[in-house]
Every structure is written in structure tokens, then in C-alpha cells.
A and B are shown apart, each in its own frame.
Chain A
Amino acid sequence: MSAVSRIPSPIMGVAGLALVIFIWHLVTTGGMVSKAFLSSPADTLSALQRGIASGELVGQTRATVLRMINGWLLASLVAIALGSLIGISQTARDFLRPTLAFLRSLPASAVIPVAISLVGLGPSMVLGVVVFGSVWPTLLATVQGFATVEQRLRDVAQVLHLSKAAFIWKIGLPNAVPDIVAGMRLSLTVALILSVIGEMLSGQEGLGTAILLAARAFRAPELYAGIALLGLIGLVSSYGLLMAERRIVRWR
């Protein structure tokens, strides 16, 4: 049930955000922290405007968002297909669950060296790492969704002579949908994190590389402009998925 969370009033959220920005403003204009490490909200905003006007930030944002979405969609596809195949069989579930739990708890960034040695420092390495890291929440959620099909529905499927494929499509997957959507929401967050880390390590175009370079050059406004954009991407995508989730599981 908690998979579908209540969407809180936007007013409170906006007020909270405003308060954080105000404190940020006080801290920076009060001179408590050097401007080289923390730029003021106003400087950050103008860096943001400059970056958008020049098109540089737009391109980097697009690169990161595309990387995140491509990796996430690919991971979701793999996770749902693989999860259905594992989930359909009690034996496969019992056999693979500990292994999946082990692989899942592996920090995805730990496989980056492996990925680099396998495919080099290219965009496909980053994509591979994003897929590897973000596949687990959705995969485990899909398996879980299949495991929780009511025994009675299995009886119904048997009495009706449903084929395995029909069972997956008409009973297993719909039953798993709430779990899958919740898993995909987690996966998306992981995909964003790994896209940024991958960019930082491989120097591929994107916000990750942009903020890394800005930090090295002590260009604090650009650094925080990049961070603000990443936060925005996370906020918009998770809110969008939450809305989608509420539409999809309307029958509840």
C-alpha cells in the first residue's frame, strides 16, 4: 500500500525550498564561507542563466538526461523480462534470490573498474554501468510481484487452462505492476547517480563532467548551477513517475 504515497501540498514544499535558499543566501553573503567554495544563490542563478543562454548547460543537461533515461529504460526492460522469467517459477526464485540480493547490494560504482577494463572509457561503458546498477531494484520488485500472486489466482489460471505466457501477461505482470513501478522509481535515482559518476570518470559530455571541471577550476557558481540542475532532474523525474504510478494503479 505504501507504494502509492500521498502527494503533499506543493505550497509546503515550495516554502521549504525557499527557506533553504534563504539560509544559503545568508551563509554566503555573510561571508562565513569563501566564495570559491560556495557561491551565493544569486551568483549561481546568473551562472545558470549564462550557461543556458550559451547553450552549454542545455547540451550537458540533455546528455546526462539521455544517458540516465536510456540506461534506465534498458535496465527496466531487462529487469521486467528477467524478473518475469525468474518470478514465474518458485524454484528459480528460491535458487536465484540470494544471488540477486548479493549482486544488488554491490555498490554499482565498484563495477566501474571492471567495466573500464572490459569496454574501455567510452560512452558504452557508462551506459553499461548505469544499466547494471539500476537493474536491481526493478528486477527484485518484479520477482517479488510475481511471488505475491494469490494462490487462488493460480488456481483460477489452472482451471482456465491459461498458458505460461498468458499467465505472465494477464496475471503475473499486472499483479507485479505496483511493485515494478515502485522499483523503477528507485532505479531512476540510481541511474542518475551512476550517469553522473560515469561521466566524471570517463570525461563524457554531461553535467557530471561539467561540475567536476568547474570544481577543479574553482568556478563555484558553475559548480552549483550544475548541482542545482541535477537536483531538478531528480525532482522532476521522480515526481513525474509518482504521477504515472498513481494513474497506472488506479484500480486500487
Chain B
Amino acid sequence: MPDSKTAFSFEGVHLELGGRPILQDINFAVKRGEFACVIGASGCGKTTLLRLLAGLVKPTSGSVRLGDQTVTAPSREVAVVFQDYSRALLPWRTATGNVSLALEAIGVPPAERADRIAPLLAKVGLTDHAEKYPSQLSGGMQQRLQIARSLAQDPSVLLMDEPFGALDAMTRQSLQDEVLRIASERHATVLFVTHDLEEALYLGDRVIALYSNPGRVARMVDIPLPRPRDQLATREHPEFLRLRRELFTVMEEIHA
């Protein structure tokens, strides 16, 4: 199934933690440049799916592949944006310092760091807040900062774990559009985990819905909505509404 266009794939992945099955028979591949969204009830294993791909967890059986390599440990090709931005940032470093961490990790010489940090902060609209500490930034800005740090790693795959779950509706929408813009500019492959069906439909090229206990693929749906997406036009598009209705029943089934 995987070929040179495959960014990553799950092949017969089964995962048990403490004797309890968490994920069962996960099989799917995501193409390079594809934006894939995973939805499911809380505790269905969608975050675990992301952690498998990040190399933070190893499958009990089956394999997780990144390109043509089996994932056995974290790779610099894969960046992760966590939901709890306040815990994922270094509180003792400024915005600049937090982005710098990723550059230090990949061995960028000190003299080159500033030139690479400024455009990254500009990309997420934090230029004026470069010297502020995370505690001085709003939730939305902290999450933007985490996104900037993940981009500093120059990843080919971006994993996002309910990144906007803790943000208010307006901030969430503007960040959704920023992520779409960044992903298309960089031709990045994205695996985006959310529990919000509309968010998944708005962002994704494909939505993968998971059943709970154990986590299994319930439904995989392509989202042929035109890009660039628009908060009003896309959400009012007949196809969006049709898919929303279709997946809504799946979600009800999942939560039942």
C-alpha cells in the first residue's frame, strides 16, 4: 500500500498498555502534503495514535512507518504541537528562547539562530512579543509560539494534538486559518487530532473517525472541499453540510 508518495502509514498497528487494548488493527496511510484529521471521543486513543507516530510510544504489534522507515524513536522530521501549550513551553525562556530550543536541538550555530527565529515569530504574528515570557502571553499567543517552535525544527510531518481545544472560538478560528496557510506554504503533511467534527471538516483533506475501547478506525472520509478554505464560505458549502450530517451520525455511534 505505501509508495514514495506516502508520508507515513500505520500497518496493522495494535497497542496494549498495562494489558488493556488501546488501539486495534489500525491501517491507513497518509500522502505527502495531505492534511489528515483524526476525530473520536475522549479516551478513544487518538492522542496515542499521534504519540505512536512521534515515536514516544511503541506499538505492541504492527508497524508505524515514516516514509520507508519504521518509527522506533522520535525523529527530527516529525514535530509535535501539544494541546497544553502552557506546559509545553519553557516558562523561563522568552518567546525567542523557546523557538531557539528547537534550533539548539538540531545544532544550528548560535550566530545563525536569530536570523531563523525572527521570520518564524513573524509567521505566527509574535514579532512584537519576541522578548516576552510565556506567562506574559495569552493562550492563543502561547499556542502560536509552540507552533513557531515546531516549525523551527523544519519538519516534514506536523502532528497536532487538539491544539486549539483550550482556546476561545475567535482565537481558534484565526489559528485554524494560520495553520492551513502554514501547511500549504510548506507542503507539510499534517496529522491533526481533534474532538471537534466541524474543525476536522474545515481543516482536513481527509477525516478519520475512531471508535473507542479499543480505538479502531470507524470511518475514513475524503473531504473534497475547495481550498483555500474560508470560515464562512467553506462552512456554508453544501458539501460541508452534507459531510457534517454524514459524520455526525458516525460521531453519535462513536459516543454511544
Partners in one complex: yes
Residues of chain A whose beta carbon lies under 8 Å from any beta carbon of chain B = 150-153, 155-156, 158-162, 166, 170-171, 174-175, 177, 249, 251-252
Task: Count A-B contacts at CB 8 Å.
Answer: 59
Give 18 A-B contacts (CB < 8 Å), ordered by A residue: A150-B88, A152-B87, A153-B87, A155-B80, A156-B88, A158-B56, A159-B74, A160-B102, A160-B106, A161-B76, A162-B105, A166-B104, A174-B90, A174-B93, A249-B92, A251-B91, A251-B93, A251-B135
Cross-interface CB contact of B91 among A158, A160, A161, A252, cutoff 8 Å: A252
Does any Cβ of A come within 8 Å of B9's Cβ? no
CB closest residue in chain B, given A151:
B87
Complex Cα distance, B90 from A159, in Å, reads 15
Complex Cα distance, B135 from A133, in Å, reads 37
- Whether A160 contacts B135 in the complex (CB less than 8 A), given A152-B87, A251-B91, A252-B91, comes out as no
Does any Cβ of A come within 8 Å of B240's Cβ? no
On chain B, which size bracket covers the interface? 20 to 34
Complex Cα distance, B105 from A161, in Å, reads 7
4 additional contacts (CB under 8 A) given A166-B104, A174-B90: A158-B56, A159-B79, A160-B153, A251-B92
Which residues of the partner chain B approach A162 to less than 8 Å between Cβ atoms?
Answer: 105
A170 x B101 contact (CB < 8 A)? yes
Main secondary structure, interface of B, reads: loop
Which residues of the partner chain B approach A160 to less than 8 Å between Cβ atoms?
Answer: 74, 76, 101-102, 105-106, 153
Complex Cα distance, B90 from A177, in Å, reads 13
Complex Cα distance, B54 from A157, in Å, reads 12
A159 x B87 contact (CB < 8 A)? no
CB closest residue in chain B, given A163:
B105
CB closest residue in chain A, given B80:
A159
Closest 7 interchain pairs by CB?
A160-B105, A152-B87, A150-B87, A251-B133, A174-B92, A251-B92, A152-B88
